[in-house]
Amino acid sequence: MPDTQAAKPQRLLSADIFAVALALLAALLVRLNLIPSIKW
Amino acid sequence: MATTAIATPRHQSLALQTIALVPGLLLLAAVGYAGKVIEQSIAAYTKSHHITFPNIEYVLWAIVIGLILSNTIGIPRVFATGVATYEFWLKAGIVLLGSRFLLGDVLHLGGISLALVAIAITLSLTFMHVLGRAFKLKPKLTSLLAVGSSICGVSAIIAAKPSIDADDEDASYAIAAILALGAISLFTFPLIGHSLHLSDKAYGLWAGLAVDNTAEATAAGALYSDAAGKVAVLAKTSRNALIGFIVLGYAIYWSSRGQAEKVTNKAAFLWQKFPKFVLGFLLISLLATVGFFTKPQLTSLANLSRWAFLLTFAGVGLRTNLRELGKQGWRPFAVGAIGEVFIALLTLGLVYGADHYLTL
């Protein structure tokens, strides 16, 4: 597992940006009340 | 922090790649949710029977269930791709956690963290290189272990590996040692914190400064308390922000010795290595500070962050295979372990020294 991971730095970068984009999109949907309140 | 290496052949279509994520994602959700249900069931049982019992957070249950599964029956290959997304959820969760911080608090505690990180990194990198020489490790393996234990674990090793032209084998050794030590710190840090009666802020700062991988640092903080988990994430995020500078330093060092490629564009290099979720965290914190979200919306974002962390903690247990880690040889592990103890003691001393500045 580790060496497979080590060989993919580019993929890591895109996953990083995608995670940020998804979180910001979720925050926007919450702000616009497009998704119901999230319970824990 | 570790990687989000999604091992998918290039010829696969996007639809197939997405479908391949489903089994592992369901497993993450099932393990994490089982941890939550166990925590709530024990709390409800002890309350209804008037039994005094310490609350054991879902974090620990999720990690333990994951560890048991991966080290007994093992994780079938079909789950691997989805389980590997646990780091993705960690980053998304950290960005959303920004909603729980006012930007002023981020800058205050982040500033303290950065100052402590700078001291700790300087001393720990020096110490790791002395140790590496004493244990006769290959210099590049020592460099990888040093960045892994000083900055942010596996992702620092992955960022440094191509930059210093290190071997795959060295990277595997360093990653295995850092993962094993991360698993140990998950269980030892909360025990030490409680025995020293550390405040939530002091403990959170310590975990954020000393535990290598972001997933483990977040879990070690959350195992202590919710407030400690929050501070641990902030301190760890400050530490992650420095990854580019340290890796750049190593790249320049090894290229000056003719053993790695020269860095031509330093600004592009720094941007490439910079963890982008730090910017997302700061943006959400800024929006929360200027009143962009209402109070119920902030609660929703905080809860969303907790759901993302639930998947992360399940992944921490599921990806830790103790037998695989044991095969990697004792010397890198010994250097890593001694280095970790040094860094833990050093950062603990720094946190004690900075305690009266911790007014978050």
Would you say residue B65 lies in a domain?
A: no
pLDDT digits (tens, 9 = 90+) for B48-64: 998 877 777 888 899 89
Q: Please report residues of B whose CB lies closer than 8 A to that of A5.
A: 2-3, 5, 154, 158, 175
Report the SS3 class of residue B275.
coil
Would you say residue B107 lies in a domain?
A: yes
Measured between CB atoms, which of A15, A30, A38 is closest to B6?
A15
In this predicted model, which residue has the larger pLDDT, B311 or B173?
A: B311
Q: Are B221 and B231 in contact (CB under 8 A)?
A: yes
Q: Are B145 and B339 in contact (CB under 8 A)?
A: yes
Q: Please report residues of B whose CB lies closer than 8 A to that of A23.
A: 91-93, 95-96, 277, 280, 284, 308
- Give me the pLDDT at residue B69, please: 95
Listed range (A8-12, B283-287, B305-309) with the worst mean pLDDT: A8-12
- Residues of A numbered 9-28 whose beta carbons fall under 8 angstroms of chain B's beta carbons: which are they? 9, 11-13, 15-20, 22-24, 26-27
Would you say residue B26 lies in a domain?
A: no
Percent above pLDDT 70 for chain A = 65
Would you say residue B21 lies in a domain?
A: no
CA distance B151 to B154: 9
Mean per-residue pLDDT of chain A: 76
Q: Please report residues of B whose CB lies closer than 8 A to that of A9.
A: 158-159, 161-162
Q: Among all residues of chain B, which has the CA nearest to that of A13?
A: B272
Residue B165 structure tokens:
């032209």
Q: Please report residues of A whose CB lies closer than 8 A to that of B212.
A: none
* Half-sphere exposure at residue B190, Cβ-oriented, CA atoms within 13 angstroms: 21
Mean per-residue pLDDT of chain B: 86
Instruction: List Cα–Cα distances, B202 to B97, B156, B199, in angstroms.
Output: 19, 25, 5
Would you say residue B216 lies in a domain?
A: yes
* A1 in contact with B, Cβ within 8 Å: yes
* Range of the structural domain that residue B271 is part of: 86-357
> Residue A12: is its pLDDT beyond 60?
no
Question: Which H/E stretch holds residue B167?
Answer: none
For residue A21, give how far its alpha carbon lies from the nearest alpha carbon of chain B (Å).
8
Neighbours of B156 (CB within 10 A): 30
Helices (H) and strands (E) in chain A, counts: 2, 0
Asked if B287's CB is within 8 angstroms of A5's CB, the reply is no
Would you say residue B222 lies in a domain?
A: yes
Would you say residue B29 lies in a domain?
A: no
Question: Which residue type does B200 have?
Answer: D
Q: What do you get for the CA distance between the two ends of chain A, in Å?
A: 33
Counting the structural domains of chain B, the total is 1
Would you say residue B210 lies in a domain?
A: yes
Report the SS3 class of residue B49.
coil
Q: What do you get for the CA distance between the two ends of chain B, in Å?
A: 25
Asked if B171's CB is within 8 angstroms of A6's CB, the reply is yes
